[in-house]
Amino acid sequence: MAVMGVSKFQRFFRSTTGLNVDKNDLKRYNDFVNDKIYDLCIIGRNAAKANGRDVMSVADLPVTKGLQECVHAFQKVEEEIEVKPLLEHITARPVLEVELGEEVLERLPLVAGGISVALARSFKIVDPAVKNPATEEWERAFELFHLLL
């Protein structure tokens, strides 16, 4: 299932960092965002279970200060591009042994947007001159996130 339509995906990356991405990058982006949201939910599940709850709350999600700032940046971009409805498809998850609370379900598309902003910005950190990230740049950016999220 596509998380973001091709044209909105391209506009999003141009708007956030001036990068040109193409439709071939969309699948790797979708997979990455889904994987990172799932990873955050696994940590959230562990926190909920450790606290004796079977429903995950927003406080269980490990959202760092940097990711929170990227969520705020996403909300500003979201107003002009309107990609949040496309990111809401991310909330379909495998069973996590706990339920996702209503607030978590509402928050996940914003967190996915924050991860998207952070990913886009990471390309410029990895290579400030990059204009059209190739497979190598995508893989480097993913490696950074795998270390941190």
CB 70 within 8 A of CB 34: no
Q: What is the pLDDT of residues 25-51, one digit of tens each?
A: 988 998 899 899 999 999 999 999 999
- How far apart, in whole angstroms, are the C-alpha atoms of residue 137 and residue 148? 17
Report helix angle 23-50 to 6-17, nearest 10. 80
pTM of the predicted protein model: 0.89
CB 51 within 8 A of CB 43: no
Q: What is the pLDDT of residues 58-109, one digit of tens each?
A: 999 999 999 999 999 999 988 777 776 666 665 555 568 899 999 998 899 8
pLDDT band at residue 1, thresholds of 50, 70 and 90?
A: very low
pLDDT band at residue 113, thresholds of 50, 70 and 90?
A: very high
Both ends of the chain: CA-CA distance in Å?
23
Give me the pLDDT at residue 96, please: 80
Give me the pLDDT at residue 5, please: 77
